[in-house]
Amino acid sequence: MLNVYGIKNCNSMKKAFDLLNELGLAYEFHDYKKQGIDATTVKTWLDQIGADVVLNKKGTTWRKLTEAEQETALASEQGLIDTLTTHHSLIKRPVIATPDGFIVGFNEDAIRALKALSCPEID
- CATH code of the domain in which 12 resides: 3.40.30.10
Hey, CA dihedral for 65, 71, 76, 79, is it positive or negative?
negative
φ and ψ at 93, to 5 degrees? -130, 150
Let me know if residue 121 belongs to a domain.
no
Let me know if residue 122 belongs to a domain.
no
Side-chain half-sphere exposure of 121, counting CA atoms within 13 A: 8
Say if residues 27 and 3 touch (Cβ distance below 8 Å): yes
Q: What pLDDT score was predicted for residue 119? A: 55
Let me know if residue 109 belongs to a domain.
yes
pTM over 0.85: yes
Q: How many domains does the chain have?
A: 1
Say if residues 44 and 3 touch (Cβ distance below 8 Å): no
* pLDDT > 90? residue 122: no
Expressed as residue numbers, the domain containing 27 is 2-116
Mean pLDDT in residue range 87-109: 96
Let me know if residue 123 belongs to a domain.
no
- Known catalytic residues? 10
Say if residues 55 and 80 touch (Cβ distance below 8 Å): yes
Let me know if residue 95 belongs to a domain.
yes
Element (H, E) at 11: helix 11-23
The total number of residues shown for the chain amounts to 123
